[in-house]
Amino acid sequence: MQAAFDTIKSFLALGGPVVAILLAVSVLALALVILKLWQFITCSTGNGRVAQRFVARLKADRVPADLMAYQKQKSAACGAVALAYSLKARGDMDKAAIEEEVGQYAATRLHELQSGFRLLDAIAQLAPLLGLFGTVLGMIDAFQQLQGAGSNVDPSLLAGGIWVALLTTAAGLAVAMPVSLILTLLETRIENERMIIETQVGALLSPRAERGAVEASTAHGRVRAAYAG
């Protein structure tokens, strides 16, 4: 533990304040990434199987007692399906009105899931620029030392200043690349969730699904009547 602390301390001493800023930014990005991953896992964001099973339960008339709780506690797709089912069961709204209401609900939930994306995007874009800024400052300092040496130029002096200056660029890229990759994965999950909402709500509200449910119920009644006879 002490060795790791000493390594970080020497790294900060070499890189200067720019590396210290990048380290603080990386800690912030890591905390935000962990928070978003936990949120996406608990909400099953982008997991189509959860919404499909929920729609299958509703079509089979196995409506959960806490149906309205799905709009707040479960995935955004399950919440949209629950809302569509509740509005459809009321019978006072047509399909277009239900889809509009569900669309507003879905937009709100997806916006909540996207909170923090702008900060991650800003970190991914600014970290390389901070690293480049530190490199420029380091190169200026190295050439100033070279100029001050006069005729007694030591090539190792210039080489040492250059690699220390390039250290900040490497630190900036080390922060930006994983953050950019994780942000892309999170945005892909959001797009998957949006597509799941559209397909599963459409499947629940489609006339074909309604006819299938009616035909299945009629057939079940005939079988029961036959056995009763």
Q: Grade residue 166 by pLDDT with cuts at 50, 70 and 90.
A: confident
pLDDT score, position 216:
37
pLDDT per residue as tens digits for the range 32-89? 999 999 999 988 898 888 888 888 888 888 887 777 677 666 789 999 998 998 888 8
From the list 18, 19, 57, the residue with the least C-alpha distance to 200 is 57
Q: What is the mean pLDDT of residues 132-140?
A: 84
Express as a percent the part of the chain with pLDDT over 90: 36
Q: Find the helix or strand (DSSP H, E) in which 1 lies.
A: none
Provide the 3-class DSSP secondary structure of residue 47: coil
Mean pLDDT, residues 203-227: 49
pLDDT, position 141: 77
The predicted pLDDT at position 32 comes to 96
- Closest Cα partner for 47 from 199, 193, 197? 193
* Contact between residue 130 and residue 22 where contact means Cβ atoms under 8 Å apart: yes
With pLDDT > 70 as the criterion, what percentage of the chain qualifies? 76
Structure confidence at residue 159 (pLDDT): 65
State the chain's mean pLDDT as an integer: 80
Confidence of residue 117 (pLDDT cuts 50, 70, 90): very high
Confidence at residue 116, expressed as pLDDT on a 0 to 100 scale: 93
Give the up-direction half-sphere exposure of residue 33: CA atoms within 13 A in the CB hemisphere.
20
Q: What is the pTM of this model?
A: 0.77
Sequence spans of domains, the chain = 12-206
Greater confidence (42 vs 223) lies with 42
- Closest Cα to residue 211, out of 89, 51, 81, 59? 59
Cα(30)–Cα(170) distance, rounded to whole angstroms?
18
- Is residue 74 within 8 A of residue 184, CB to CB? The reply is no
Asked if residue 160 has pLDDT above 80, the reply is no
pLDDT attached to residue 57:
84
